[in-house]
Structure 1
Amino acid sequence: MVKQIKLLLTVLIIITFGLNNSKAQVSSYEELQAAYLYNFAKYIQWPKEVLSETFVIAVYGKNIPKGISTVLNGKAVRGQHIELKTIDSVENFVDCQILFIPENRIRNLPELYPVLRDRHILLVSENDHIEKGAIISFIMKDNHLQFKLHEKALSEVGLTASAGLLRLAILL
């Protein structure tokens, strides 16, 4: 059943974002991450009081990875336009619903803890950094991009994942 759901998610990602040309292509790692971020936005519920006209996905760093920008620019979720922003320091923190921390910035995660406290922010990292505080962490398993989800941490920030998303996750 889980394999069928994963296959369905892969098909949905391809349908949602399409292929760049008529030839089948292997999506880049960043594009797959973007597709997952988009689906996290769709299948996780935020409290209504923190939602606005835009759904902000922030990247901790100076630049938004090209694959993420390419896939998410112009997209919307639940009627909200997705806006991509960068956060290059704690002093320049912006309100967001999802904060993505690339591998090269994970060492800076502890400095964000005071800013993240009492906010409804989904913290997503690369390379299995759940133990450092991420709620969702991308991992490579059997040469496929998958994700771990820390259910308790998700509920502690006031967010709820759909049953379908929970079935796709490696739960902790």
Structure 2
Amino acid sequence: MSKKTSFIVRTLLAVMLVLAINGQAGASGEAAVKTAFLYNFFKFIEWPQAASQVAYNLCTTENDHLGDSLLVLENKTIYGKPMLVRREVGNDELKNCHIVFIGASENARAIIGVLKGLPIVTVSDQPGFIAYGGMIGLVQDGSRLTFEINLELANAENVHISAKLLKLAKNVNTAK
């Protein structure tokens, strides 16, 4: 494992540990942890068009409930490219995103339908998200927040998820 990869894995594990220690951190703490997960997902995912992109786009739908926690991502870079945070993005503009966070109160199935066939990673904290076509679901595991991955869908959409991220997932759906 390279030093850079080792650092990234340790960073993601540290975020998970912070949540485990502060399981009762409240809504703002939970939003900060979700934001940290979203940022770190970028480091473990490869998109087919990434080489030609000048920036990585993190988008949220309406009612993302992440509050000001996304402000920490301003001026962040991923592999030398800036990360742009775009909030409350409409369905027509979602096709320009790399990761789309779908808030718990949104119609995830409709948004997933808009993005079907595109190499866009959908993430949500809605229960059962990967079962109905989402790519990464943020799930509570006791007092900890963890995630599950729909690898079958990621592969179908030509999105490569690192084995290191798959190892950290609570559940990986590979069934056909």
* Structure-2-length-normalised TM-score: 0.76
User: Does the alignment pair 1:55 with 2:56?
Assistant: yes
Instruction: Quote the residue 1:155 is aligned against.
Output: 155
User: Does the alignment pair 1:72 with 2:73?
Assistant: yes
User: Does the alignment pair 1:119 with 2:122?
Assistant: no
Cα distance, 1:168 vs structure 2: 0.2
User: Does the alignment pair 1:137 with 2:140?
Assistant: no
Residues 35 and 66 in structure 2, CA contact (< 8 A), matched pair in contact too: no
Instruction: Quote the residue 1:44 is aligned against.
Output: 45
RMSD across aligned C-alpha pairs, in angstroms? 2.7
Amino acid at match of 2:146: Q
Identity across the alignment (%): 24
Which runs of 5 or more residues in structure 1 are unaligned? 1-5, 15-25
Cα distance, 1:139 vs structure 2: 0.5
- Describe the shift of the 1:48–1:33 C-alpha distance in structure 2 as closer, same or farther (beyond 3 A): same
Corresponding residue pairs, total: 154
> SS at the partner of 2:117?
coil
Instruction: Quote the residue 2:166 is aligned against.
Output: 166
Which runs of 5 or more residues in structure 2 are unaligned? 1-8, 17-24
- Describe the shift of the 1:91–1:166 C-alpha distance in structure 2 as closer, same or farther (beyond 3 A): closer
- Describe the shift of the 1:47–1:68 C-alpha distance in structure 2 as closer, same or farther (beyond 3 A): farther
> SS at the partner of 2:86?
strand
Residues 34 and 67 in structure 1, CA contact (< 8 A), matched pair in contact too: no
Cα distance, 1:152 vs structure 2: 0.2
Deviations 1:42-76, CA, capped at 9 Å, x for gaps: 01111136751110000011667224413312211
Instruction: Quote the residue 1:9 is aligned against.
Output: 12
Deviations 1:100-154, CA, capped at 9 Å, x for gaps: 001011xx22333443132110000103311222110000102111001011011
- Describe the shift of the 1:124–1:80 C-alpha distance in structure 2 as closer, same or farther (beyond 3 A): same
The runs of at least 4 aligned residues of structure 1 exceeding 4 Å deviation read: none
Cα distance, 1:87 vs structure 2: 3.9
* Structure-1-length-normalised TM-score: 0.77
Cα distance in 2, alignment partners of residues 80 and 141 from structure 1: 33
> SS at the partner of 1:118?
coil
Further displaced range: 109-118 or 35-44: 109-118
